[in-house]
Structure 1
Amino acid sequence: MKAYLLSIAAGLLVGVVYSLLGVRSPAPPMIALAGLLGILLGEQIIPLAQRIMTKDDVAEFVMTECRDHVLGRLPGDAHDAHDTRDA
């Protein structure tokens, strides 16, 4: 959870600096977020296709490795109990 708060704080700080300098962000926010989502999902196409071709459990991959990569470890996730990096 600490990483999320630090990320938001850093974004707010950059926003304040942009405002003080009188400049706008380099991309409209929704376009930038859509592009980032496309990158994250695109990174999963090859591993997903490999699992389909080898007939591995695709649903398990999507619900574990793929989800963790695209969404990150969410607060309250079972992995958080063993992850001390955010402590």
Structure 2
Amino acid sequence: MLKSYLVSLATGLLAGVIYSAMHVQSPAPPIIALLGLFGMLVGEQLIPVCRRLMQRQPVTLAWFRHECVPKISGTPPPEGESKP
């Protein structure tokens, strides 16, 4: 897990060095880029929610916490919670 963070950081640093060497600014201000990434992560969870609603299954907080939050936050599901 830590390795993926380090690879991501190193890739970002490399991109920053390349932008600086080429005398260009990054394509988006950092907050806009982060909001865009967050939107992508949340948007990916719309399909499972819609599928569940179409199958007339409840979208409960426990289900959302187990199925969607780990994919958005990148953390494992909470311990001790069974899959709803």
Show structure 2 runs of 5+ residues with no match.
Answer: 80-84
CA contact (8 A) 1:41 1:70 kept: yes
The structure, 1 or 2, with the larger RCO (C-alpha pairs under 8 Å, 6+ apart) is 1
State the shift of 1:57 in Å.
Answer: 5.2
Matched, 1:23 2:59: no
TM-score normalised by structure 1 residue count: 0.69
Q: What RMSD in Å do the two structures reach over aligned CA positions?
A: 2.2
**Deviation sequence 1:13-51 (CA, Å, 0-9, x none):** 110111111111111111111111112112212322443
Match of 1:69? Answer: 71
Show structure 1 runs of 5+ residues with no match.
Answer: 79-87
Between the aligned partners of 1:45 and 1:26, the Cα distance in structure 2 is 27
TM-score normalised by structure 2 residue count: 0.71
Match of 1:44? Answer: 45
**Deviation sequence 1:45-77 (CA, Å, 0-9, x none):** 232244356243521222122012111136xx8
Q: Percent identity?
A: 46
CA contact (8 A) 1:44 1:66 kept: yes
